[in-house]
Every structure is written in C-alpha cells, then in structure tokens.
Amino acid sequence: MTRAAARLFMTQSAISMQIKRLEASLGLVVFERTAAGMVTTNAGEQLLGYALRLLDINDEAVGRLTSVDYAGKLRLGIPSDIIYPRMPDILKQFSRDHPRVQVTLSCTNSKLLKQQFSQGLQDVILTTETNPGDNGQVIGSESLIWTGAMDGSAWKQRPLPVGISKNSAFWPSVIKGLEAVAMEWVNLVSTEDHMAIEAMTAADLCVGVELGSTQIAGRSPIDHRGLLPALPDYSIVMYRAETSSTPMVNELLGYLQRGYA
C-alpha cells in the first residue's frame, strides 16, 4: 500500500479505501492480508488479468489518437542476441502508434550490422558490445551467462564442448575467459544458423552463452558454481545514422530506449 501510494502520489489511506470499495463492489476479496504482506487471491489474480488488458486498450486508444501521423520507411538492424524478450513488444507498440510507418528489420551479428551502418544501409542499429564506440548510446546492460540443456551435463566435459559462432559478439570474451583459466575446449559449431546452434545446446551436445534476459526454449543458465570462467557484462548500444534525424526516427529511438531501459 505504501509503495502504491508513492507511485500514484496519493495517501496510503486513500489507496486502502479504494481497495475496500473495489472489493465491496465485486463482493469478493482480492487481497489476502498475511503477516508477510498482501498477496492476491484467486479472484484478485483474475481481476489483474482483466485490468492489464484494459490498460493496454487505454494506451492503444491514447497513442492512436494523440500521436503524430508519421508515414514512411525505417531500416532497423538488431543482433539475434537481443531479439527476445523485448523486441516483439517494442515493435508491436511502435506499429500500433504509427501504423503508416513501415519498419524493415534486419537480424545478424553486431559486427556485420556496424558494417551495414557505416555503408548507409541502416537507419538505426542496436549492438551488443563490451566497449561501445563514442558515437553510440548505451541504452542497457546485460550479464553474459553460460547456458546449456535443461539438467544437462555437457558443461562438465573436458575439453569443454562449445557451441558459439566465431562471428558472434560474444566469441572474443568466451575465448579470453577459457584461456585465462587454461581450460581445454573444442568448438562444435561450423554454421551461422542460430537455430542449429540452439538445437545442439538444447540436445546437451555443447554449451553456449547468451544474455541473462534472453529466453530460449530448452536451454537454461548453468549453475556451474565457479567451474566455468566468469564472463563480462555487455552493453546494448544504439546507433543512429547522422542523415536519419527525422522525427520518425526520433520516435523509434524513444521506443527502443524505453524498451531496453
């Protein structure tokens, strides 16, 4: 109640009264008061789902009716490492608010994206880097972690079977970490196909690395208890072409910044 009051700039007693009125109008208890705090009841959980849908509809209506009606095309490049879980929601919200703007999405590794950007083939790109360039804006940071099959044992094998593309932004950090602890390893990847790499890892044939927020079915963080080398944090960096300073581009930058904040 105290945190809710602070967020809404209301008094705690006003928040408590609104909850009581809500429960009275429904004839249901939506919060269970326990010694450890307040938790939602089954009815409260159901109500929460409806409330979130109502808020989405509200945001869609306000965004559609108040946004500037931009039109045109934008070229956006993103490495596959950070497509999930945030990018689908970011693109959905941007498309909802700017239905006349067509976003062309390219997905490849950070190195190639920066090459395309320098050649004027992208309006905006995101990259994953340990040492961002001066002309990029850091909009987030993620921990790089070892991942493997659910309840897998490949990480215990020596030499360590690794499944990482040599063109991945994470490759230098992984090799540096393995060499720092003199751990023998073998790379089992001879493809740039991320789905093939993910399948090999999920099959417990090798280990991989990914950012902590990434969600890939069949893979999970490895609880190696220090038996694998530590990995660095990576910055999520946004680059905008100097020639792409239109209001439409600025709008997209805002959605990306908020999405990865």
pLDDT at 34 (0 to 100) = 86
- Ranked by mean pLDDT, the top range of 20-24, 195-199, 257-261 is 20-24
pLDDT at 8 (0 to 100) = 85
pLDDT at 57 (0 to 100) = 87
pLDDT digits (tens, 9 = 90+) for 108-124: 999 999 999 999 999 99
pLDDT at 237 (0 to 100) = 96
Using the predicted structure, report yes or no on whether residue 106 has a pLDDT greater than 90: yes
Q: Looking at the domain covering 71-261, what would its CATH class be?
A: alpha beta
Pick one of 3.40.640.10, 1.10.10.10, 1.10.260.40, 1.25.40.10 as the CATH number of 2-66: 1.10.10.10
pLDDT at 60 (0 to 100) = 75
pLDDT at 261 (0 to 100) = 79
Domain borders along the chain are 2-66, 71-261
Q: How far apart are the first and last CA of the chain?
A: 26
Among 137, 149, 120, 159, smallest CA distance to 241 is for 120
How large is the average pLDDT for residues 139-167? 94
- Cα(208)–Cα(192) distance, integer angstroms: 14
pLDDT at 244 (0 to 100) = 59
pLDDT digits (tens, 9 = 90+) for 37-66: 889 999 999 999 999 999 888 877 877 676
Q: In the 8-state DSSP scheme, what is residue 206?
A: S
Supply the mean pLDDT for the chain. Answer: 90
CB 117 within 8 A of CB 237: no
Region of 78 please: left (phi>0), alpha (psi -120 to 50) or beta. beta
H-assigned helices in the chain: 2-8, 12-26, 42-66, 87-97, 110-118, 171-180, 194-202, 247-260
pLDDT digits (tens, 9 = 90+) for 19-37: 999 999 999 999 998 888 8
pLDDT at 216 (0 to 100) = 73
Using the predicted structure, report yes or no on whether residue 96 has a pLDDT greater than 90: no
How large is the average pLDDT for residues 210-222? 85
Using the predicted structure, report yes or no on whether residue 10 has a pLDDT greater than 80: yes
pLDDT at 110 (0 to 100) = 93
- Cα(232)–Cα(177) distance, integer angstroms: 9
